[in-house]
Amino acid sequence: MDKPILNVENLYLHFRATKGIVQAVDDVSFDLQRNEAIVFLGESGCGKTTLAKAILRLLPRNVHKYTGKVYMDDTNLMELDDERFRREVRWVKMSMVPQAAMNSLNPVIRVGDQVAEPTEAHFGLKKEALAQAREVFQRVGVPVDFMSRYAFELSGGMRQRVAIAMALVTSPDVVILDEPTSALDVLTQANIMNVLKRIKKETETSFILITHDISTSSELADRVAGMYAGQIIELNDAEHFFSTPLHPYSQKLMASVPTLHQTKKLEFIPGQPPSLINLLPGCRFAPRCPSKFEKCAQDPPLIDMGERRKVKCWLYANGKEK
Amino acid sequence: MPANTPSPNNGTLLSIQNLHTWFELRKWGFGRAGYVRAVDGVNFDLGYGEAIAFVGESGCGKSTLAKTMLGIHRPTKGDVIFQGKKLNAFSSQEMQWYHSQVGYVQQDPYGALPPFMNVHRILSEPLLINKVADKDEREQRIRDVMTEVKMTPPDDFLQKFPHMLSGGQQQRVVIARSMIMRPKLIVADEPVSMLDASVRVEILMLLRALQQSHNLAVSYITHDLSTVRYFSERIFVMYAARIVETAPVDDLLREHLHPYTQALMLAIPDPDAKNALTLKEVPPGEPPSLINPPPGCRFHPRCPHVIKGLCDTQEPPAFEPRPKHFVECWLYK
């Protein structure tokens, strides 16, 4: 196994709110290899987007606790000051396609200029910037003559491609995609996933994909991280996660996905995820868990199952299922 | 579609005949600049207690069709016939009666619930409007309907405001509100697309259970083909303001005849790690503008099986290549 391109260790991001401390990202650790895609799956409010923002240090003002280690090329990014982080990491080594990116394009700047802007800002290359933008437009499948159009002249799928082009134009090592297809139509979704697959094949880029759409995520995933209430509860390779998940929550979640091509009996998870304020001790899924037992009153560790598979559940306390 | 697709159950509740809903485009405020043909020639019958589903991409006219069924939009041409009576000829009093006979479940539950009313007030409103004068009866019906949507005990929720409820609970309140006048038909426009995966199934199962226990007709409108199998008996695939394929759910999922349906089915993955290994085949281009749809079959500019000289000039009628399976495509003439 090569050295990972990104290594996150014990990352915490807590917010202050009027009712108390929101534990949005709570002790998250994972690593990412070069040219690998990891998918973060979870329900809304489980901290997926906050995790992405914590990695890229895009923080709101009410931060209560922001600790941990994020390694890239042996540097701990958490030790860099804000200016160095902006200059050397954000959009140079790591970029992000935010949620609903297609609606965040500037309406009064031509899309070509917008895509050229990161290169200009980070490398000071004025002439090359447009040439690079042209190249990346081709790569994401937007006709090059669209560069002189404005965002409102493009369809939703085209705008989403432009947003992806903006994240790719500086050739970063890691691209974070936050719900890249959630507001799009089925056929457009398939198109965007094709674009991402092709880019992954042709370049060395690694992807962090954040989504709640389990079926679509399987189009890109090499590995899957299941998130629940601010924590990673399972890290697994895609093959095992989609067929035989380990954690009871992942099992239930997979059973709730409607499938088109096979018939199966659908299940749902009764109850609701806990509030991230005033969390009770112990396993956070225990109140909804069908296989709950006495030990669940204590917080389970992330148990190593070998082959980079990990699960945060007492059922696997001996390294295999009870 | 043929005017009288037989409805399987006992009699026809709602019949849509040659329905067109067009929106006028204005130029400088009064000049006419054409029409957006959001629904352009739709026919179907819906039986008592039947669950049907409309599937299509955004902008194909499925929400406009729903709103025309609900009487929110007036049809430009054609008729909506409810229990043998034409909606167009309704007086405003009859329209009010009609609104008590059809329930509407909106897409975004938070947007559909007034933020300044508590659940009790939200559920009282339809009863007050429809002059259920007896206070005890109103209370009883509110409690009954809350139990039916599994928000128990009702007293825990009745005093709450929408923002105090989770997304799933809000959608239950919306369903309760649509049920409280004991309607015969519920039109659910993307009822679960704003909800999380685990809650989504729960709400769909709830709707299905209500549909079966009350012999309700439900028209379920969605862009998500994969949930349809668990919910409805017949499925209508819409493309560019027309229904291009209709069949009982299992038949359609087993054998999809229209090239557009085939493309849709191919594009929707089941969760499987093998998906990452192959590229998907997607028809090129985008759905046409409804102001100026292409002549002939509306899918022909994107269709891999296009027949030159036929598909691009003549609009295909509905063919019935298999029993009860209708498709608007020249391949099956």
Average pLDDT in chain B: 89
Chain A CB contacts of B263 below 8 Å: 187
Whether residue A115 contacts residue A162, with contact meaning beta carbons closer than 8 Å, is answered with yes
Give chain B's count of helices (H) and strands (E): 11, 12
Give domain status of residue A210, yes or no.
yes
State how far the Cα of B237 lies from the Cα of B255, in Å rounded to an integer: 13
A45 and A179, same domain (yes or no): yes
On chain B, the residues whose CB falls within 8 A of the CB of A243 are 272-273
User: Chain A partners of B276 at a C-beta cutoff of 8 Å?
Assistant: 37, 197, 218-222, 238
Residue A309 DSSP SS3: coil
- Name the nearest CA neighbour of A221 among A188, A252, A243, A253: A243
Q: What pTM did the predictor assign?
A: 0.87
Of A186, A219, A272, the CB nearest to B264: A186
Considering only CA atoms, which of A60, A28, A20, A48 is closest in space to residue A277? Answer: A20
Task: Please list the alpha-helical segments (H only) found in A244-296.
Answer: 248-255
- Whether residue B252 is predicted with pLDDT greater than 60 in this model: the reply is yes
**CA distances from residue A39 to A176, B97, B207 in whole angstroms, order as listed:** 10, 50, 31
Give residue B305's Cα distance to chain centre. Answer: 29
B108 to chain A, any CB pair closer than 8 A? The answer is no
- pLDDT digit string (tens) for A231-250? 999 999 999 999 999 999 99
Q: Cα dihedral angle (B228, B231, B233, B235), rounded to 10 degrees?
A: -20
Query: Residue A183 has what pLDDT?
Result: 74
Distance (Å) from the C-alpha of residue A76 to the closest C-alpha of chain B?
Answer: 32
CA distance A223 to A245: 12
DSSP A90: B
Between A43, A44, A214, which is nearest B271 by CB?
A214
Same structural domain, A137 and A200: no
Q: Which two tokens stand for residue B253?
A: 């999922």
Give the integer Cα–Cα distance in Å for B241 and B328.
13
Contact B203, B178 (CB under 8 A): no
pLDDT of residue A321: 56
CA A231, CA A225: separation in Å to the nearest integer? 10
pLDDT at B265 over 60: yes
Using one digit for the tens of pLDDT, what is the confidence trace for B186-241?
A: 999 988 888 887 788 889 989 999 999 999 999 999 988 888 888 889 999 999 99
| Percentage of chain B exceeding pLDDT 70 | 97
Arithmetic mean of pLDDT over chain A: 90
Q: Which amino acid is at B5?
A: T
Lowest mean pLDDT among A153-157, A171-175, B161-165, B313-317: A153-157
Q: How confident is residue A121, by pLDDT bands cut at 50, 70 and 90?
A: confident
A220: CATH: 3.40.50.300
- Contact flag A217-B283 (C-beta cutoff 8 Å): no
Judge if A33 and A69 occupy the same domain.
yes
Inform me whether the pLDDT recorded for B168 exceeds 70. yes
Tokens 């093959």 map to which residue? A239
Contact (Cβ atoms closer than 8 angstroms) between residue B32 and residue B38: no
CA distances from A20 to A63, A64, B70 (A): 12, 10, 45
A281 — pLDDT class (breaks 50, 70, 90): confident
Taking the CA of residue A8 and the nearest CA in chain B, the distance in Å comes to 24
Question: Going along A89-240, which residue ranges are E strands?
Answer: 94-97, 174-178, 206-211, 223-228, 231-237
pLDDT for A136 beyond 70: yes
Whole-angstrom distance, CA of residue B102 vs CA of residue A120: 58
Residue A164 clears pLDDT 50, i.e. is over it: yes
In a domain, residue A321? The reply is no
Read off the DSSP letter of residue B10. Answer: S
Where exactly are the structural domains of chain B? 12-332
Residue B5 in this model has a pLDDT that exceeds 70: no
> What per-residue confidence (pLDDT) applies to A320?
62
Per-residue pLDDT at B39 exceeds 50: yes
pLDDT at A170 over 70: yes
Whether A212 and A291 share a structural domain: yes
The single residue listed with the structure tokens 């349906």 is: B261
The predicted pLDDT at position B231 comes to 84
Residue A319's pLDDT band, with cuts at 50, 70 and 90, is low
Q: Cα A5–A8–A13 angle (5° rounding)?
A: 145
Asked if residue A38 and residue A17 are part of one domain, the reply reads yes
Mean pLDDT, range A105-117, rounded to an integer:
92
Tell me which of A171, A198, A216 is where a domain ends: A171
Token pair of B209, please? 């259970």
d(CA A147, CA A156): 15
Taking CA atoms, what residue in B is nearest to A39? B273
Do A76 and A217 share a domain, yes or no? yes
For position B10, what pLDDT does the model report? 65
Residue A285 sits in the same domain as residue A189: yes
Predicted confidence at residue A177, as pLDDT, reads 93
Are A231 and A269 in the same domain? yes
Q: What per-residue confidence (pLDDT) applies to B1?
A: 42
CA–CA dist B123, B109 (Å, integer): 14
A201 interfaces chain B, CB cutoff of 8 Å:
no
- Residues A258, A109, single domain; the answer is no
Residue pLDDT, tens place only, A41-52? 988 888 889 999
Which chain B residue is nearest to residue A267, measuring alpha carbons? B201
Does any domain span residue A83? yes
> Residue A219 is nearest to which of B253, B276, B286, comparing CB atoms?
B276
Q: How confident is the model at residue B7 (pLDDT cuts 50, 70, 90)?
A: very low
Q: What is the ipTM of this complex?
A: 0.81
Query: Which residues on neighbouring strands pair with residue A20, listed in sequence order?
Result: A17
Which of A115, A145, A171 is the C-terminal boundary of a domain?
A171
State the alpha helices, DSSP H only, in chain A.
48-56, 82-88, 111-123, 126-140, 156-168, 186-202, 214-217, 238-243, 248-255
Spatial contact of B56 and B223, defined as CB atoms under 8 Å apart: yes
Asked whether residue A77 falls in the same domain as residue A113, the answer is no
DSSP-based three-state secondary structure for B123: helix
CATH of domain B12-332: 3.40.50.300
Q: Is residue A190 included in any domain, yes or no?
A: yes
Q: Residue A192 and residue A199: Cα distance in Å, rounded?
A: 11
Angle in degrees, 0-180, between the axes of helices A111-123 and A126-140, rounded to the nearest 10? 130
| pLDDT confidence tier of residue A68, bands split at 50, 70 and 90 | very high
Inspect the interface and report whether the beta carbons of A258 and B265 lie closer than 8 Å. Answer: no
Q: Model confidence at A25, in pLDDT bands (50, 70, 90)?
A: very high
Same domain, A193 and A290: yes
Same domain, A153 and A58: no
CB environment B132-164: b (16+ within 10 A), e (fewer):
eeeeeebbebbbebbebbebeebeebbeeebee
In chain A, the number of structural domains is 2
- Residue A162 belongs to what domain range? 102-171
Q: Which residue of A has its CA nearest to B59?
A: A185
Tell me, what's the pLDDT at A73?
85
